[in-house]
Amino acid sequence: MLNISAARRQRTPVRELNMAPLIDMVFILLIFFLVTTSFVKETGIAVQRPTAATAVGDARTAILIAVDADNRIFFDHREIDIRAVRANVERALAENPEGAVVVVADKESATGTAIQVMDGCRMAGAANVSLAASLPEGR
């Protein structure tokens, strides 16, 4: 006796969805977005910036150095000594020669400490050293 339904099942190709190309494409897109994304670097501490009516934003990649209210200096999420500013900025400039140095000083910090930090940055070879400020609330 001939079983027709069994013969039809054998001739019908099995259809499956191959997921490998889809997974490959997702990983390629993920790698593309990770490579093209610029990450914002932070100083590692919370600083109350002074306000300035003429403050402007800078979209370039910046090397950030923070001075807190107790005149402690922070670079790359760690506290450093004033004598180590030059060496740390030189290392950061070697990694990113076009980077601008931004000193993020607390409004309660001593002006002398911020000036010493800026001086150390200039001695390290930084061409563009600036002091961070915030815009007033009304602007």
C-alpha span between 132 and 49 (Å, rounded):
7
Pairing of strands 129-131, 100-105: parallel
What are the 10-residue block averages of pLDDT along the chain, 139 residues in total?
A: 61 75 91 76 61 58 85 90 92 86 88 91 89 70
Write out pLDDT tens, residues 81-105.
999 999 999 998 898 888 888 898 8
First to last CA, the chain: 90
Are the C-beta atoms of 80 and 74 separated by less than 8 Å? yes
Please give the pLDDT value at position 39: 60
Please give the pLDDT value at position 3: 65
Please give the pLDDT value at position 127: 85
List the chain domain ranges: 4-36, 62-131
Q: Please give the CATH topology (third level) of the domain spanning 62-131.
A: Nucleotidyltransferase; domain 5 (3.30.420)
